[in-house]
A and B are shown apart, each in its own frame.
Chain A
Amino acid sequence: MAKQKIQIIVCGGTSCNGNQSELLIDNLRLELEANALENDVRVIKSGCFGLCNLGPIVKIIPGDTIYTHVKPDDARDIVSEHVMKGRKVERLLFTDPVTKKVLATERELSSHKKQIRIVLRNCGIIDPENIDEAIAYNAYEALGKVLTEMKPPEVIKIVKDSGLRGRGGGGFPTGLKWEIAYKNKSDEKYVVCNADEGDPGAFMDRSVLEGDPHAVLEAMAICGYSIESHKGLIYIRAEYPLAVSRLKTAIQQAREYGLLGKNIMGTGFDFDIEIRYGAGAFVCGEETALIHSMEGLRGEPTVKPPFPAESGFRGKPTNVNNVETFACLSPIILKGAEWFASIGSIKSKGTKVFALAGKINNVGLIEVPMGTTLREVIFEIGGGIRYGKKFKAAQTGGPSGGCLTEKHLETPIDFDNLIAAGSMMGSGGLIVMDEDDCMVSVAKFFLDFTVEESCGKCAPCRIGNKRLHELLEHITKGKGTLADLDRLKNMSLVIKDTSLCGLGQSSPNPVLSTLENFREEYEAHVTIKKCPAGKCKDLMEYFIISANCVGCTACARVCPVGAITGERKEPHVINPNICIKCGSCMEKCKFDAIIIQ
């Protein structure tokens, strides 16, 4: 390999970019050229370092020196001092305000990074189809420790002390759930992993199963030991073929190694895991419906109590946990309850994986400690709103949650704060909306989903949601009245109060929360019959400003229904009775003569 040259890495993340990191790169290149160093030193633009509040960031290799708050003018010093003389530019190094210690390398600065990977610790690191790689990264070590050094109540105590709460949405304390299952004595008990990830836009469970299946298998075995069960079942939707095939491989390899099956690691404990497939019904994410579906019955929920911990799969005590909950487990056992409880907020411990989607720059998965603010998630880690548009709302909890608005940006995200803000954690989907999104249409979109996914067992959910959807349809078509808004609210509250399961109890949430936060938008739809975001087709009209129109006929030629007429070089007009509001004319017009009213 050639002798390593000096390389200057400049952060090109959205936040650093906004602070002139582009100009900094140009300046660095000019400085290097001025000193005839352009062939020896390379300047590279990178993605985000996750140190946005210290940006713009510059990293220099070799040595891994990190400079913070670097301005375009600092290029000269970096080149003349660091590159040419090998001396660090002291004033650009970061000094910790508390300890007064200078943190000069990326490793030393890592505690300033916003994300911590606990659940995603091995995703993208290990080969999921090779158990040896998983073992090299500590897989099954926690299981070994539990089986040889602890009694079931001790394990349950650790889980309780860690403060781990169910990541599937409800946030029920996991340790407590285990304790109830442990105390219900039976000849047979079951451990179920809920991998029926159904929220639109959420895919963290899939990623964990695809990237680190052994984390889930190991945690299920630990749970089995703790509640005295010998049988684990993974309920996964058949739409996740890659996750299914990697799980199958992982189970097979774990059995061959004696890490699942009879007499695990020679300790006399038996535990085996099977896969059960779901057909992709949203309601089957609800634990009672999930259990019925696994039994071969219709995926319909039943009244709790009895809770699955008392009478679940085949009438036996059953403990159901989500994929992400299980994935937290082995680090808790290995590093201790105090370690886990030290991360996160007062009542919500540990980290949460969010799937960022919608109008955000860095779409993807992130894992942050509970209590990180919405602003940090969207504007620092998520890189802000696409095309520099204005943030309007973020939907958490999918179709069961509500929207958070600008006033919630400083709210630390955890289970309780989200409920106080009229939303919920859900499985961690976070859909970001910008100024162009119509909130009435958003509410309608989520209801579309719940109407489709309602199992039909109870009337409030089956009929009520359909009626809610009709009302919203009316409003977006300009046929709504002010009285409809009150009707929406009343009906939503009734559905919430009277539905049987979590699906119906939460399905009106998007309506209630958009109504609460964006009432003026609903009112504009019903009073002046306008959609402020310009999304509802029936409420807008395309219009040609005759002063701007030069009569080029481009619009008339592109119109698919022939709604535009006019002589050449004369202003054209759109016939609103024929226009289907496809927007093609507006795209074609080079003179900004076509507007939406």
Chain B
Amino acid sequence: MKTIKSPAELQKRKAEILQRMNEKEKIRIRVHMGTSGQASGAKVIYDFLKLELEKRNIDAVVISTGDMGYSYAEPTMEVTLPGEAPVVFGNVDKLKADEIIEKYIKNGELVDGILPANYRVIN
């Protein structure tokens, strides 16, 4: 990867990345895989999603991130449908993940177990 030679170039790189991220009108899924998440089985959910989404022919990006701090509801995952606000689901097991794929990802129907953003963001 090319090195960044000035702060202006950093801005340019940022704009490119953002454009690339937004261009692909793809479903984005984040599985929260910090220590708490992994201890509660987030890896299983991550693998399940990767496999099942491919099997079911759904074009989505699945990424692993750190934890959000919802230790009481781990494993947690977040789904962002194109043009929608992200939705976080807690206490996800394979059954729940399946329900999320079938109902929310395919039809935009929410399912129980949503964790609304209970905080303000700064950006």
Contacts and interface: CB of A to CB of B under 8 A. Distances in A.
Contacts of B3: 256-258
B112 A136 contact: no
| Contact residues on A (Cβ < 8 Å of other chain), bracket | 35 or more
Contact of B70 (A9, A11, A364): A364
Interface string A353-394: 000000001111111000000000000010000000000000
Contact of B116 (A46, A124, A210, A265): A46
Contacts of B113: 46-47
B72 A361 contact: yes
Contacts of B120: 110-111, 113, 115-117
Contact of A363 (B35, B66, B72, B112): B72
A265 B71 contact: no
Interface string B17-34: 110010000000010101
Contacts of A147: 7
A206 interface: yes
Contacts of A258: 3-5
A50 interface: yes
Contact of A42 (B5, B21, B110): B110
B1 interface: yes
Interface stretch (A138-146, A429-437, A470-478): A138-146
B72 to A, nearest CB: 5
Contacts of B85: 64
B121 interface: yes
Given A1-B108, A210-B34, A137 B67 contact: no
A128 interface: yes
B4 A259 contact: yes
A117 B116 contact: no
Interface in A217-259: 240, 242-243, 246, 256-259
A140 B10 contact: yes
Given A117-B120, A265-B4, A381-B118, A212 B66 contact: yes
Contacts of B117: 50
Interface string B75-116: 010100100010000100000000000000011111111111
Contacts of B115: 46-48
Interface in B22-74: 30, 32, 34-36, 38, 63-73
A259 B119 CA distance: 31
Contacts of A46: 112-116
A243 B34 CA distance: 8
A128 B66 contact: yes
B60 to A, nearest CB: 13
A148 interface: yes
A491 interface: no
A118 B119 CA distance: 10
Max chain A C-beta neighbours (<10 A), residue from B18, B65, B85, B106: B65
B69 A207 contact: yes
Contact of B114 (A44, A113, A137, A335): A44
Interface in A108-161: 110-111, 113-118, 120-121, 123-130, 132-133, 135-138, 140-141, 144-145, 147-148
Nearest to A256: B1
A533 B73 CA distance: 29
Contacts of A210: 34-35, 66-67
A64 to B, nearest CB: 8
Interface string A31-68: 00000000000101111111100000001010010000
B65 A128 contact: yes
Nearest to B30: A124
B122 A335 contact: yes
Max chain B C-beta neighbours (<10 A), residue from A106, A114, A128: A128
B69 A9 contact: no
A366 B70 CA distance: 8
Nearest to A125: B65
B109 A126 contact: no
B110 A265 contact: no
A397 interface: no
A144 to B, nearest CB: 3
A113 B70 contact: no
A112 to B, nearest CB: 9
A118 B63 CA distance: 22
Contact of B69 (A116, A126, A136, A365): A365
B6 A266 contact: yes
B65 A124 contact: yes
A541 B3 CA distance: 72
A577 interface: no
A2 B1 CA distance: 41
Interface in B1-17: 1, 3-7, 9-11, 13-14, 17
Given A127-B63, A136-B17, A242-B34, A362 B7 contact: no
Contact of B35 (A116, A126, A242): A242
Contacts of B67: 123-124, 207, 210-211, 365
Given A124-B32, A363-B71, A48 B78 contact: no
Given A140-B10, A257-B1, A118 B71 contact: no
Nearest to B61: A127
Contacts of B71: 363-365
B109 A7 contact: yes
A130 B81 CA distance: 21
A282 interface: no
Contacts of A118: 122
Interface of A: 1-2, 4-5, 7, 9, 11, 42, 44-51, 59, 61, 64, 106, 110-111, 113-118, 120-121, 123-130, 132-133, 135-138, 140-141, 144-145, 147-148, 203, 206-208, 210-212, 240, 242-243, 246, 256-259, 265-267, 331, 335, 361-367, 381
8 contacts: A44-B112, A49-B118, A117-B122, A121-B122, A124-B65, A141-B10, A258-B5, A265-B10
Given A118-B122, A120-B69, A211-B34, 12 more contacts: A2-B108, A5-B109, A9-B110, A44-B110, A46-B115, A47-B118, A123-B69, A128-B65, A133-B63, A136-B14, A267-B6, A364-B69
Name the 9 nearest CB pairs between A and B, nearest first: A211-B66, A50-B118, A144-B7, A365-B69, A258-B3, A124-B68, A115-B119, A364-B71, A46-B114
